[in-house]
């Protein structure tokens, strides 16, 4: 029998919980823990716990993760020091500055759940504490390949003297379309299971090479391509976080948007061959004309509408610290090879328009006539703390004024494709202009880089 005292106690706590949920607390708006561990998204909201305290718990894998406390639209972002990045030590109470600044860092050696606590009893000077929670005991994973007739193992030594393995097995070796299970002994960057199962489908290519690992990885690529094929995209930084209709390729599980660099390299490596129409849609999404009220710069020829390629955010911001938006040209060329003739004609005209405007504007803002090279952060790897010397983190002027082989190669690709399309469209003057610039850039790359 349940006592009336227990019922009264339960009612009291239910009432208290409801009161906390209804009270937004002293901050009066939503704030989120946003960082590299969650794609800088908004899935980890700081929940009000009462008495001016907010908390969020995040499962984080190994790595050196940048993060900030930010509102949904980034109209407010809080960091520990507006002048420099701070590496957070667990269990220290650190004062947050309620203004923008460089991202702070949390170094994680092994996967664990971290509680982010913001004490906002003084909203003008909130305190941040990050605590690693005690691990919850769990049964070890069973062998996902147990009982399989065909198993392949790849093994290799690592830099720290260990031996790691990747294993592959077939769910049903006799099936016409196979399902594979794939596992690894490596600690993963993200806190997810270290094994997965994926399948071939009749509408995607598959291989029978005689090498189980190769066939499995080929099927994995097709499976992930299908996962990235979406009808709408979303990013908290755009359109107020609402979805944007687009039959596009989103970037991945944590990045539900179209990024120029990621899309373009993937398309060049094979994505455009498998789904050229979706790649074309994605490329078109990464074009933008001048905003209303903006007029063309008189010193830049042929840019009346301003249609140009959108630069992804890089390590130091966006264009022209990063100028590898012209990677778009790699994807465009492969897409033009595979589109049906009628669709190709329309896209070729739009591609030339966007490439020409981008080339002309970059020539003014990011070209150094002294050595014939383009400035800007290197392409491929865009996290400066992972791909540059440590001093570059606080010296973005050096990054933006430097010249990189990869970035200059992307400018060369843009020039050569623009010249080719101009010849197709009987614009001989523009073709000659870009052919000459491409030849000069090639010489400068070989001479200087």
Question: For residue range 243-274, what is the model confidence (pLDDT) as tens digits?
Answer: 999 999 999 888 889 999 999 999 999 999 99
Residues 272 and 310 in one domain: yes
Residue 271 domain-assigned (yes or no): yes
Q: What percent of the chain has pLDDT over 70?
A: 90
360 pLDDT band, cuts 50/70/90, is: very high
Residue 70 domain-assigned (yes or no): yes
What's the CATH code of the domain at 66? Answer: 2.60.40.3620
Measured in whole angstroms, how far is the alpha carbon of residue 393 from the centre of its chain? 19
- Asked if 111 contacts 66 with a C-beta cutoff of 8 angstroms, the reply is no
Q: Across 344-426, where does the E strand assignment appear?
A: 367-368, 373-374
Residues 265 and 206 in one domain: no
Determine what percent of the chain falls in helix, strand and coil, rounding each to the nearest 5. Answer: 35, 20, 40
pLDDT at 21 over 50: no
4 pLDDT band, cuts 50/70/90, is: very low
Q: pTM, whole model, 2 decimals?
A: 0.78
Picking from 99, 132, 165, the residue at the C-terminal end of a domain is 132
Residue 264 domain-assigned (yes or no): yes
Q: Are strands 87-88 and 104-108 parallel, antiparallel or unpaired?
A: parallel
Residues 75 and 158 in one domain: no
Question: For residue range 146-191, what is the model confidence (pLDDT) as tens digits?
Answer: 999 899 999 999 888 889 999 999 989 899 999 999 999 987 777 7
Q: What is the pLDDT at residue 189?
A: 72
Residue 15 domain-assigned (yes or no): no
Structural domain count, the chain: 3
Residues 107 and 44 in one domain: yes
Contact residues for 131 (Cβ-Cβ < 8 A; gap 6+): 90, 91, 114, 115, 117
Residues 26 and 160 in one domain: no
- Cα–Cα distance measured from residue 438 to residue 359, given in angstroms and rounded to the nearest whole number: 11
Residue 10 domain-assigned (yes or no): no
Residues 283 and 202 in one domain: no
Residues 127 and 155 in one domain: no
Residues 211 and 352 in one domain: no
Q: Across 237-316, where does the E strand assignment appear?
A: 244-249, 287-288, 308-309
Residues 182 and 257 in one domain: no
pLDDT at 6 over 90: no
Residues 292 and 315 in one domain: yes
62 pLDDT band, cuts 50/70/90, is: confident
Picking from 79, 103, 132, the residue at the C-terminal end of a domain is 132
pLDDT at 14 over 50: no
Residue 141 domain-assigned (yes or no): no
Instruction: Give the mean pLDDT of 367-387.
Output: 85
Residues 259 and 389 in one domain: yes
Domain that holds residue 98: 21-132
- Cα–Cα distance measured from residue 393 to residue 378, given in angstroms and rounded to the nearest whole number: 14
Q: What is the pLDDT at residue 10?
A: 42
DSSP 227-241: HHEEEEE--TTSGGG
- Cα–Cα distance measured from residue 333 to residue 336, given in angstroms and rounded to the nearest whole number: 5
Residue 138 domain-assigned (yes or no): no
Residue 249 domain-assigned (yes or no): yes
Residues 157 and 122 in one domain: no
Picking from 159, 190, 223, the residue at the C-terminal end of a domain is 223
């Amino acid at each position: 029998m349940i006592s009336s005292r227990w019922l009264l106690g339960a009612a009291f706590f239910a009432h208290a919980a409801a009161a906390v949920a209804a009270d937004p607390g002293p901050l009066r708006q939503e704030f989120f823990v946003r960082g590299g561990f969650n794609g800088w998204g908004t899935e980890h909201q700081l929940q009000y716990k009462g008495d001016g305290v907010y908390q969020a718990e995040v499962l984080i894998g190994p790595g050196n993760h940048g993060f900030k406390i930010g509102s949904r639209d980034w109209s407010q972002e809080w960091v520990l020091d507006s002048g420099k990045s701070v590496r957070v030590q667990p269990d220290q109470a650190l004062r947050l500055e309620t203004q923008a600044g460089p991202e702070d860092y949390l170094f994680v050696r092994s996967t664990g759940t971290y509680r982010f606590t913001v004490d906002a009893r003084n909203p003008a000077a909130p305190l941040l504490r990050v605590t690693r929670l005690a691990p919850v005991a769990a049964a070890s994973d069973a062998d996902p390949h147990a009982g399989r007739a065909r198993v392949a193992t790849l093994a290799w030594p690592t830099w720290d003297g260990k031996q790691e393995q990747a294993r592959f097995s077939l769910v049903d070796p006799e099936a016409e379309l196979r399902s594979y299970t794939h596992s690894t002994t490596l600690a993963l960057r993200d806190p997810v299971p270290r094994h997965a199962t994926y399948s071939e489908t009749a509408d995607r290519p598959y291989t029978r090479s005689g090498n189980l690992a190769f066939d499995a990885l080929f099927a994995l690529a097709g499976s992930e391509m299908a996962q990235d094929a979406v009808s709408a995209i979303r990013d908290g930084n755009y359109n107020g976080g609402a979805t944007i209709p687009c039959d596009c390729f989103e970037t991945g599980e944590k990045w539900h948007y179209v990024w120029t660099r990621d899309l373009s390299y993937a398309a060049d490596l094979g994505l455009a061959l498998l789904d050229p129409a979706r790649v074309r849609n994605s490329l078109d999404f990464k074009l933008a004309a001048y905003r209303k009220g903006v007029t063309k710069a008189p010193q830049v020829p042929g840019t009346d509408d301003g249609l140009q390629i959108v630069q992804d955010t890089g390590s130091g911001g966006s264009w022209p610290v990063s100028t590898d938006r012209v990677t778009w040209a790699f994807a465009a060329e492969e897409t033009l090879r595979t589109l049906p003739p009628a669709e190709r004609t329309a896209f070729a005209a739009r591609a030339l328009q966007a490439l020409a405007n981008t080339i002309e504007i970059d020539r003014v803002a990011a070209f150094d006539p002294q050595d014939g090279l383009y400035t800007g952060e290197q392409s491929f790897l865009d996290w400066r703390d992972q791909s540059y010397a440590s001093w570059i983190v606080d010296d973005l002027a050096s990054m933006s004024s430097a010249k990189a082989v990869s970035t200059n190669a992307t400018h060369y690709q843009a020039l050569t494709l623009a010249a080719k399309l101009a010849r197709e469209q009987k614009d001989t003057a523009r073709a000659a202009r870009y052919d000459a610039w491409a030849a000069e850039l090639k010489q400068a790359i070989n001479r200087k880089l």
